[in-house]
Amino acid sequence: MRLRAFSRVPAILAAVLVSGVAPGQPPAKPGVAATVNGEAIPLDAVDAFIAGKLSLPPLTPAQRRQLRHEVAADMVDDLLVKQFLRRHGPKIDPAELDGYFKAFTASLARRGKTFADYLKETAQTEAAVCDTWTTLLQLNGYVKQHVPDAQLKTYYLANKDHFDRVEVKVSHIVVRVGPSAPATEKAAAREKLRALRGDIAAGKLDFAAAAKKYSQSASAAAGGDLGYIPRKGGLVDEAFAKAAFSLKVGEVCDVVESDDGLHLIEITDRKAGTPSTFEACVDDVRDAFAEDFRAELVAKLRKEARVQITLP
C-alpha cells in the first residue's frame, strides 16, 4: 500500500498551508492552484507543501505534476470544510484554544521538546498551527452539538474493533488501476485477481508466491506482507481496512477496490486488543466519528461547490 504522506496527503497537514487565504482575495503571489467557491489556493502553497512537508526522492516532471494535483485536491477538501465551519461551526473560545496549546506543549515537554522545536521540525508558523487547531476544535464542536450519544453508541458498536485496539496482520496482491481507468481495464484486472483467488482457494497457488509474482507493490518481495494494521487511522484506505477486518485468519477476500487499485487481501494473524466500553472511550468515539463525518461532508460539499483546478 502507498504511504498517504506521498500519494494522498492527509488533509490535516495540508490545512496549515490554506490558512490565511481570505475569502474572495487574490493570492499574495501570482499563480493559483485552485479556487473553491471563489476562494483561492495559491500555487506557492502547493509547492511549499511539497518542498517542506514531504521527504521525497527526485521526481520526474510527470510525477511532480501528479503530486501537485494530489496535494491541491487535499487542500480543496480542507478548504471546503473550513468554509462549511465558518458558516455552521461553533465559535472557539480563546481559552479553549489556550488549553489545547498548554496540553500540547506539555506533551512535547514530556518528550524533551519545545513548541519552537515542533514548529521547526514541521516547517509551520504558530499562526498556522493555531488555525489548524481551531478547525479541529470547530469540527469536534459541531459533532458534539449535532450528534446525540445514542448515535455515537451505534457508531461505537459498529467499530468496536477500532476502540478495542484490535489489529490484523495482512498481506495483499494489488493491480494498479486508477479510479478514472476505463471500465474495461478495471474489469480485466478484476477477473485476473478473481482467477488468482480461485487458484489460491483450490490450493494450486500459495498467496505469498502469487503476491511475489503478480502484485504491483513494493510489498511483493515480502509475499505481499504489510504487517499489522489497525481498524482505522492507519496507512491503508477505509475500504481496504474494512475488508481486512471482515476476514478470519487464513481467509482471502473477494476483490476490493481502493484508491490504489484492486486488491486481494489475506489475514494471517489477529491481535485481540483490550475490551473497551462506550462510557470509558466516548471522547475517542466522538473524535473518530468526526473524522468519518468529515469525509462524508467533503463528498457532499464537493458535489455542491464551485471548484476549479488551475494547475499548470
Find residue 11's DSSP bridge partners. Answer: none
CB atoms within 10 A of CB 51: 10
**Judging by DSSP bridges, how do beta strands 261-271 and 225-230 pair with one another?**
unpaired
Report which of 47, 50, 40, 51 is spatially closest to residue 18, judged by C-alpha positions.
Answer: 40
Q: What is the pLDDT of residue 5?
A: 31
Q: What is the pLDDT of residue 2?
A: 27
The single-letter code of the amino acid at 170 is: V
Q: H/E element holding 226?
A: strand 225-230
Half-sphere exposure of 285 (CA within 13 A, CB side): 24
Q: What is the pLDDT of residue 20?
A: 37
Q: What is the pLDDT of residue 181?
A: 83
Q: In angstroms, rounded to a whole number, what is the distance separating the alpha carbons of residues 289 and 241? A: 16
Q: What is the pLDDT of residue 254?
A: 95
Q: Which domains does the chain have, with CATH numbers?
A: 11-151+284-309 (1.10.4030), 165-271 (3.10.50.40)
Q: What is the pLDDT of residue 7?
A: 35
Contact 286, 11 (CB under 8 A): no
Q: 175 is written with which cell numbers? A: 493491480
With cell 484486472, the residue in question is 189
Residue 153 to residues 57, 137, 144, 160, 284, Cα–Cα distance (Å): 44, 21, 13, 10, 12
Q: What is the pLDDT of residue 236?
A: 87
- Alpha helices by DSSP H, listed for the chain, are 11-18, 43-53, 61-88, 94-110, 115-122, 126-146, 149-158, 160-163, 183-201, 207-214, 238-245, 282-304
User: Which backbone phi and psi does 182 adopt, to 5 degrees?
Assistant: -60, 150
Q: What is the pLDDT of residue 54?
A: 59
Contact 18, 250 (CB under 8 A): no
Splitting the chain (312 residues) into consecutive groups of 10 residues, what average pLDDT does each group show? Answer: 34 39 40 94 87 72 88 94 95 91 94 91 84 92 94 96 96 89 92 96 94 94 95 88 95 92 96 95 93 94 94 84
Q: In angstroms, rounded to a whole number, what is the distance separating the alpha carbons of residues 289 and 89? A: 16
DSSP summary character for residue 174: E
Q: What is the pLDDT of residue 30?
A: 55
Q: What is the pLDDT of residue 77?
A: 95
Q: What is the pLDDT of residue 233?
A: 82
The single-letter code of the amino acid at 174 is: V
User: Which backbone phi and psi does 236 adopt, to 5 degrees?
Assistant: -120, 155
Find residue 256's DSSP bridge partners. Answer: 263
Q: What is the CA radius of gyration of the chain?
A: 21
Over residues 45-69, the pLDDT tens digits come to 888 888 766 566 777 888 888 889 9
Report which of 37, 45, 48, 43 is spatially closest to residue 20, judged by C-alpha positions.
Answer: 45
